[in-house]
């Protein structure tokens, strides 16, 4: 077991015990208390090892070999922590990392796969030793439930089937391969290309493991996109407000800040897509998404927009001067085009110059105004609840100071955005904030009918799905997809029938990840109260919670 200091629950970086703020991302360490006891969690475990280290031991001087391993493990730790994971331990020439401790993230599986791909690519350079020695890394990744040890004692340890499976896949993998389980693939399937590799047996485990080999991945894609396609339900008013905001921005040549708030899966992206599709060629639409972790992410959404509109690649290696010149081309005959292009390039990391804080917002605003010169511009910024303060400042600057440019600035975020910036949208000359609520019972029923077509679903199953989803469209879709994929629901002669008792419904892995992340985001006492209340059911009483809770409940 590894002795640790204080672990940042935001990015996973270890900090000295006396630190109050994370040395890596700046998040306050005291804001998230570690759990005070062992907990059951769904995590993703990564095992990787250096193939050929024994042969290298025969060919290399011991000090050279030790230096190689040290550099490699330092790189592994840095990459894992940059993706919000934690290195559990190093064993000989192998490393074990866990994504989901001390805090679960909804995209832990995707973080693990991205980290594995980055480790494989980065360590090809680190492990070049010459002398005839052949080195490569092989990796196994598994997702599953584990028991996480008590972090308050300064130690971490996870135990569970996922640990054994990941270790077995790592042993099975060929040099340079990354093998993942079907459970992991289900959570990352829309961001990866894989090849089925058959089943692998694990000692002591009755059922074999379905295994897939990672071929390629889209480093900016979400891990899991919706599969069903059906008419949008219950969003007529928000849709109308979007149309009105666009018309105002277009006709009055101003910037309208339109914020759509809502919990995960409630339909923010679906509403956006319906609106954007309706625009056709009447507007230029640009997209950017905030990342929840990583380095250099402050202006990541702006970087995506600039690169997409100028044709500059997302990967390093281009000529900085040429890239800045392409930005300048977008600015047309603007007298400050060269200075604007230089500032934009600095902000998104194209050039090594130090950004000029006072000029960065002005430069990015000027770039967007140039895009709106020939037709209205719709700027979409997703997941703004993960935005850095500087990006939030930038968005408000654009909304406040843009002039004579038809820009509809659409922000998608969860309610946490208002915790970061309580005054968000206030005092703006043109701004709208809407909150998407769960669908009501009638709307949920309509959604289920739309998804299943004209086939009849037994009333008992229909009601169980509707009750379990609680009005969340994503939950409805994921429950139906899981039941159909598992064979629990089958369509025969136009009728949907259940192949087994559906008195209770399992939670799909994608939804489990979302719920676990929300639970881990609660303060210790709040989570303790919620856990004890759940013993009674979805509705519970104060006296019952007070009898079980390890903390005193507030008088209110």
> Can you give the pLDDT at residue 292?
82
Identify the top-confidence range among 189-193, 221-225, 245-249, 315-319: 245-249
Identify the top-confidence range among 25-39, 184-198, 486-500: 184-198
Which of the four pLDDT bands, split at 50, 70 and 90, describes residue 32?
Answer: very low
The 8 Å CB, 24+ separation contacts for 154-161 are 154/3, 154/4, 154/5, 155/1, 155/2, 155/3, 155/4, 156/1, 156/2, 156/4, 156/86, 156/88, 156/98, 156/101, 156/102, 157/1, 157/88, 158/41, 158/43, 158/45, 158/88, 158/98, 158/101, 161/205
Query: In this structure, are 255 and 404 located in the same domain?
Result: yes
379, 400, 435 — which closes off a domain?
435
Counting the structural domains of the chain, the total is 4
> Can you give the pLDDT at residue 290?
92
Query: In this structure, are 431 and 446 located in the same domain?
Result: no
> Can you give the pLDDT at residue 106?
85
Nearest-angstrom CA–CA distance, 364 and 357 = 11
Query: In this structure, are 198 and 184 located in the same domain?
Result: yes
Nearest-angstrom CA–CA distance, 103 and 352 = 34
Mean pLDDT along residues 521-532: 71
Percent of the chain with pLDDT over 70: 82
Predicted confidence (pLDDT) at residue 31 exceeds the cutoff of 50: no
Percent of the chain with pLDDT over 90: 44
Query: In this structure, are 478 and 546 located in the same domain?
Result: no
Query: In this structure, are 190 and 170 located in the same domain?
Result: yes
Query: In this structure, are 389 and 491 located in the same domain?
Result: no
Predicted confidence (pLDDT) at residue 456 exceeds the cutoff of 50: yes
What's the pLDDT tens digit per position in 122-145? 877 555 555 445 567 899 999 998
Residue with more model confidence, 255 or 10: 255
Which of the four pLDDT bands, split at 50, 70 and 90, describes residue 498?
Answer: confident
Residue 362, token pair as written in the block: 């002005």
Residue with more model confidence, 342 or 24: 342
The upper half-sphere exposure of residue 442, i.e. CA atoms within 13 Å in the direction of its Cβ, equals 1
Predicted confidence (pLDDT) at residue 3 exceeds the cutoff of 50: no
Query: In this structure, are 197 and 286 located in the same domain?
Result: no
With a threshold of 0.85, does the pTM exceed it? no
Residues 6+ apart with CB under 8 A from 552: none
Which of the four pLDDT bands, split at 50, 70 and 90, describes residue 228?
Answer: low
Contact predicate 79/23, CB 8 Å = no
Residue 236, token pair as written in the block: 């007529």
**Span of 144-148, 225-229, 287-291, 295-299 with lowest mean pLDDT:** 225-229
Whether residue 519 lies inside any domain: the answer is no
Burial of 134: CB neighbours in 10 Å, binned 0-12, 13-18, 19+: exposed
Contact predicate 509/187, CB 8 Å = yes
What's the pLDDT tens digit per position in 302-324? 999 999 999 887 555 568 888 99
Q: What is the CATH number of the domain that holds 153?
A: 3.30.70.1230
Q: What is the CATH number of the domain that holds 265?
A: 3.40.50.300
Query: In this structure, are 480 and 530 located in the same domain?
Result: no
Contact predicate 305/286, CB 8 Å = yes
What's the pLDDT tens digit per position in 321-334? 889 999 999 999 99
Query: In this structure, are 300 and 160 located in the same domain?
Result: no
Residue 394, token pair as written in the block: 């930038």
Mean pLDDT along residues 535-546: 71
Mean pLDDT taken over the chain: 83
Burial of 380: CB neighbours in 10 Å, binned 0-12, 13-18, 19+: buried
Contact predicate 201/239, CB 8 Å = no
Whether residue 227 lies inside any domain: the answer is no
Which of the four pLDDT bands, split at 50, 70 and 90, describes residue 19?
Answer: confident
Within 10 angstroms of residue 18's Cβ, the number of other Cβ atoms is: 8
> Can you give the pLDDT at residue 245?
98
Whether residue 22 lies inside any domain: the answer is no
Residue 458, token pair as written in the block: 């037994």
Which of the four pLDDT bands, split at 50, 70 and 90, describes residue 34?
Answer: very low
Query: In this structure, are 285 and 332 located in the same domain?
Result: yes
378, 408, 435 — which closes off a domain?
435
> Can you give the pLDDT at residue 125?
58
Query: In this structure, are 422 and 337 located in the same domain?
Result: yes
Of all helices (H) and strands (E), which one includes residue 312?
A: none
Which of the four pLDDT bands, split at 50, 70 and 90, describes residue 546?
Answer: confident
Mean pLDDT along residues 482-493: 79
Residues 6+ apart with CB under 8 A from 54: none
> Can you give the pLDDT at residue 381?
98
410, 435, 460 — which closes off a domain?
435
Which of the four pLDDT bands, split at 50, 70 and 90, describes residue 422?
Answer: very high
Which of the four pLDDT bands, split at 50, 70 and 90, describes residue 550?
Answer: low
Whether residue 332 lies inside any domain: the answer is yes
Contact predicate 402/308, CB 8 Å = no
What's the pLDDT tens digit per position in 5-14? 566 655 656 6
Which of the four pLDDT bands, split at 50, 70 and 90, describes residue 463?
Answer: confident
What's the pLDDT tens digit per position in 66-80? 777 788 888 899 999
Within 10 angstroms of residue 407's Cβ, the number of other Cβ atoms is: 25
Query: In this structure, are 185 and 265 located in the same domain?
Result: no
Which of the four pLDDT bands, split at 50, 70 and 90, describes residue 345?
Answer: very high
Whether residue 137 lies inside any domain: the answer is yes
Whether residue 9 lies inside any domain: the answer is no
Per the structure, the complete domain to which residue 330 belongs is given by 236-435
Whether residue 231 lies inside any domain: the answer is no
Which of the four pLDDT bands, split at 50, 70 and 90, describes residue 410?
Answer: very high
Torsion of CA 121, 123, 125, 126, to 10 degrees: 170
Nearest-angstrom CA–CA distance, 97 and 89 = 7
| Residue 483 three-state SS | helix
Encode 493-505: b = buried (16+ Cβ within 10 Å), e = exposed.
eeebebeeebeeb
Nearest-angstrom CA–CA distance, 344 and 355 = 9
Q: What share of the chain is helix, strand, coil (3-state, %, to 5)?
A: 40, 20, 40
Whether residue 365 lies inside any domain: the answer is yes
């Amino acid at each position: 077991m590894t002795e640790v200091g204080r672990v940042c629950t935001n990015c996973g970086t270890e900090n000295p015990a006396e630190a109050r703020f994370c040395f890596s991302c700046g998040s306050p360490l005291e804001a998230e208390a570690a759990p005070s006891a062992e907990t059951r969690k769904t995590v993703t475990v990564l095992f990787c090892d250096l193939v050929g280290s024994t042969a290298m031991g025969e060919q290399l001087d011991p000090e050279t070999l030790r230096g190689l391993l040290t550099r490699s493990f330092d790189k592994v730790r840095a990459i894992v922590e940059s993706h919000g994971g934690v290195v559990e331990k190093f064993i000989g020439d192998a490393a074990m990392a866990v994504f989901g401790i001390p805090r679960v993230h909804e995209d832990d599986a995707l973080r693990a796969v991205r980290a594995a791909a980055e480790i494989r690519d980065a360590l090809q350079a680190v492990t070049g030793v010459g002398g005839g020695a052949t080195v490569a890394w092989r990796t196994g990744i598994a997702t599953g439930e584990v028991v996480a040890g008590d972090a308050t004692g300064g130690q971490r340890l996870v135990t569970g089937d996922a640990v054994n499976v990941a270790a077995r896949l790592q042993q099975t993998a060929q040099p340079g391969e990354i093998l993942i389980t079907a459970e992991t693939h289900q959570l990352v399937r829309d961001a990866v290309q894989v090849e089925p590799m058959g089943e692998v047996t694990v000692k002591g485990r009755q059922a074999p493991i379905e295994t897939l080999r990672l071929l390629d991945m889209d480093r900016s894609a979400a891990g899991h996109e919706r599969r069903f396609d059906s008419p949008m339900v219950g969003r007529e008013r928000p849709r109308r407000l979007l149309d009105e905001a666009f018309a105002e921005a277009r006709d009055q040549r101003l910037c309208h800040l339109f914020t759509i708030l809502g919990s995960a899966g409630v339909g923010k992206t679906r509403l956006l897509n319906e609106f954007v599709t309706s625009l056709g060629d009447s507007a230029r639409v640009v997209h950017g998404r905030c990342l929840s972790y990583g380095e250099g992410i402050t202006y990541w959404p702006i970087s995506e927009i600039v690169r997409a509109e100028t044709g500059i690649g997302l990967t390093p290696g281009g000529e900085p001067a040429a890239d800045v010149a392409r930005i300048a081309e977008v600015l047309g005959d603007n007298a400050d085009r060269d200075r604007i292009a230089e500032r934009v390039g600095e902000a998104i990391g194209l050039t090594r110059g130090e950004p000029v804080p006072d000029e960065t917002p002005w430069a990015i605003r000027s770039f967007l105004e140039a895009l709106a010169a020939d037709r209205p511009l719709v700027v979409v910024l997703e997941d703004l609840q993960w935005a850095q303060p500087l990006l939030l400042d930038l968005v408000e600057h654009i909304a406040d100071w843009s002039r004579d440019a038809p820009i509809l600035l659409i922000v998608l975020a969860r309610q946490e955005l208002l915790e970061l910036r309580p005054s968000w949208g206030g005092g703006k000359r043109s701004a709208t904030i809407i909150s998407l609520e769960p669908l009501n019972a009638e709307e949920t029923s309509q959604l289920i009918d739309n998804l299943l077509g004209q086939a009849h679903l037994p009333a008992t199953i229909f009601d169980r799905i509707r009750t379990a989803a609680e009005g969340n469209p994503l939950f409805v879709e994921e429950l139906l997809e899981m039941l159909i994929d598992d064979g629990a629901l089958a369509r025969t002669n136009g009728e949907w029938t259940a192949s087994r008792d559906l008195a209770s419904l399992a939670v799909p892995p994608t939804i489990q990840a979302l719920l676990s992340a929300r639970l881990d985001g609660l303060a210790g006492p709040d989570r303790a109260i919620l856990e004890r209340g759940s013993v009674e059911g979805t509705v519970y009483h104060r006296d019952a919670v007070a009898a079980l809770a390890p903390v005193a409940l507030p008088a209110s």
